[in-house]
Amino acid sequence: MSIRVVIKLGGRVARDAVSVVLEHHAAGEAVVVVHGAGPQITAELQARGISTEFVGGRRYTDSATLAVVRSSLVAVGAELSAAVGPTAVHLVGDEIGLEAVRLPELGFVGEPVPTPSMAIEQTLSAGRIPVVTPLAVGPLNVNADEAATAVAEGLGADRIVFVSDVPGVFVAGSVLSLLHADYAIDLIKSGTVDGGIVPKLLAAVRAARLGLTVEIGATAVVA
């Protein structure tokens, strides 16, 4: 049975990281891609004059914002699928039944939950690459890093790789080669790391504690 790997591509690097996806696929691994679209969403909201409100560091999503989030994510997913080539199959999360628990204090936002997906399984069985746009039934806006871990858990994946515009997890100016899950939580609680790396670290910690092999760039996260 092929090793199952989920590759999460940040919106800033999605097209540039296609080679990573194809290398894993060429190595005989069953590859699932989950992508973000943070920069694209922010740019489109600004272009439309829609203000962004944050609650506890997370974007509040009203109906107007949700429309932009969905259209931006779907556009990135379609572009990424085209870049991967004919082996790619673009799957939109809310259309294939990916689920989340709504967080009403954040509007139309959900916390992803592991969901077995027949559409993803069928795509893998055909030897192709599912490119999953991270939306949940509702639709609900979900964090792409959290969605990647939920997809990995739902699939029973072996490995998850987070690819972004940074080479790994920085502490005291250096990239860590190894990061224990407990220490990652300490870094978050102490404020040593903050911003966009936090949901990525939390998603990585969850995946590591589930027994997956986890990489954030050059940093291996272990339980």
pTM over 0.85: yes
More confident site: 99 or 172: 99
Helices (H) and strands (E) in the chain, counts: 7, 16
Average pLDDT over the chain, rounded to an integer: 93
Helix or strand (DSSP H, E) at 200: helix 197-209
Q: pLDDT grade, residue 180 (50/70/90)? A: very high
31-156 folds as Carbamate kinase (3.40.1160)
Distance, in Å, from the CA atom of 197 to the CA atom of 202, rounded to the nearest integer, reads 9
Q: Break the chain into its structural domains and give their ranges.
A: 31-156
State the pLDDT at residue 80. Answer: 95
Task: Give the pLDDT mean for 143-151.
Answer: 96
Distances (CA, A) of 209 to 29, 189, 202, 223: 22, 18, 11, 5
Choose among 61, 5, 57: nearest CA to 33.
5
Q: pLDDT grade, residue 57 (50/70/90)? A: low
Q: pLDDT grade, residue 173 (50/70/90)? A: confident
Structure tokens at 116: 């077995």
Distances (CA, A) of 38 to 24, 41, 130, 133, 177: 25, 5, 20, 12, 26
Structure tokens at 137: 């039934």
Q: pLDDT grade, residue 176 (50/70/90)? A: very high
> Which residue type is seen at 159?
R
